[in-house]
Amino acid sequence: MVSSRNPSSIASEREVADNLQPTGNDQKQELDAGALFVLKSKGSWMHCGYHLTTSIVAPPLLSLPFAFASLGWAAGVISLVIGAAVTFYSYNLISLVLEHHAQLGHRQLRFRDMATDILGPKWGKFYVGPVQFLVCYGAVVASTLLGGQCLKAIYVLVNPNGDMKLYEFVIIFGGLMLILAQMPSFHSLRHINLVSLVLCLAYSACATAGSIYLGNSSKGPNKNYSLSGGTETKVFGIFNSLAIIATTYGNGIIPEIQATLAPPVKGKMFKGLSVCYSVVTLTFFTVGISGYWAFGNEAESLILSNFSDNGKALLPKWFIFMTNTFTILQLSAVAVVYLQPTNEVLESTFADPKSSEFSVRNIVPRVILRSISVVISTTIAAMLPFFGDVNALLGAFGFMPLDFVLPVVFFNLTFKPSKRSPIFWLNVTIAVVFGTLGVIGAVAAVRQISLDAKNYRLFANV
């Protein structure tokens, strides 16, 4: 049921609501195994910042110069600014809605919980839950594939005539994921995600430095910032690039991250988001602008690919090796973060909340099922080296509604701002604009899949 309370009443209700919250063992008995074991609420706002940074500031940001190539300077920079502003705003709206319901005695721990309570059970069960699962598991597959590609790039530098195939490197990366996937809870990733934060700063700095170096040297291409192709190509290129930028800012697990916070949670999410978006600003803009400045409309879909030409390194090999290593390590953290919704569902279904988290009854199915999950994602990544095209469709279909549309809808339905108020119409505008962009982005992604279909081959060594 949607609450009709006004936001101004929240503060006065806090003490009463806090007293209504079940505590200690009473709350544990009400939680299913997924919430109890995976989404345990022990983190600080700084830990929240680490989780948020890993889930948003990920290697897909290295595609931003490629997105600029279809938008140009003005539209590219404006799109980055709007993406940052809207997602920061939307994620804070989700946090406010979560806090409000928690203060009223009903804490929502998952995205599907929010949809079920605010939109109705069918929305949570048949739309939000499945879409979130597909998007997050798609991110795991995409991270595994990209990790394999980065491993192969290092291998080619060391052994240009080697005969190892891409799928072999994907399997090697999957082996690392098998180990990390056994981390018991989201909270247990806090130290890994701190390292991840440092790594994303490191490879972004390397990508920026490499771009500036090549942009100022004769090794780089002649800079051309014109939009190439015919009218149809340009139009679809624009929407595809907007989908890339939106997906880069995508998260899809804000409620699950907020669920890791130790109570009271008020204000902690804003601090965590502030940490995250400080890193976002530092990395997204430097990589996007420097990469497009250096390579113009010849920017590759992954800017690191511009650091070599037909297998010949344009930068010192140790520099490319270091950059790819930073990227690979952070990709493992990103993948394990986006495994958490899958882990939570598996725990909810197969674990026993009445037994200890580390009892044989719970450890055995946890290890087996999480390993199977990783094996499946690794197999998909190895089989479908063109998964980037599919992931673009999942992003347009999933990240747009989860991160741009639903947050403002949840806020308006929960707090019921006056239809004369600016916030109501701002939220409606965001929902309509980004809902439309999501549909068009999905169409553009399907078009790209059809164009690339002739090159698709299982286990291709690309």
Location of structure tokens 């990783």: 374
What average pLDDT is seen over the chain? 88
Residue pLDDT, tens place only, 358-391 = 999 999 999 999 999 999 999 999 998 876 677 6
Helix ranges restricted to H, 384-421:
387-394, 400, 406-415
pLDDT greater than 80 at residue 22 = no
What is the architecture, at CATH level 2, of domain 34-455?
Orthogonal Bundle (1.10)
Residue pLDDT, tens place only, 253-272 = 999 999 999 988 889 999 99
**CB-based burial label for 99 (10 Å; 0-12, 13-18, 19+):** buried
0.75 exceeded by the pTM?
yes
Task: Classify the C-alpha dihedral 92-96-102-106 as positive or negative.
Answer: negative
SS3 letters for 157-168? HHCCCCCCCHHH
Phi, psi of 250 (to 5 degrees): -65, 155
Residue pLDDT, tens place only, 276-331 = 999 999 999 999 999 999 999 999 888 998 998 877 889 999 999 999 999 999 99
Which tops the pLDDT comparison, 158 or 21? 158
pLDDT on residue 424: 96
The residue among 194, 313, 207, 299 whose CA lies nearest residue 244 is 299
The residue among 6, 8, 92 whose CA lies nearest residue 48 is 92
Indicate the domain borders of the chain. Answer: 34-455
Beta-carbon count within 10 A of 432 CB: 12
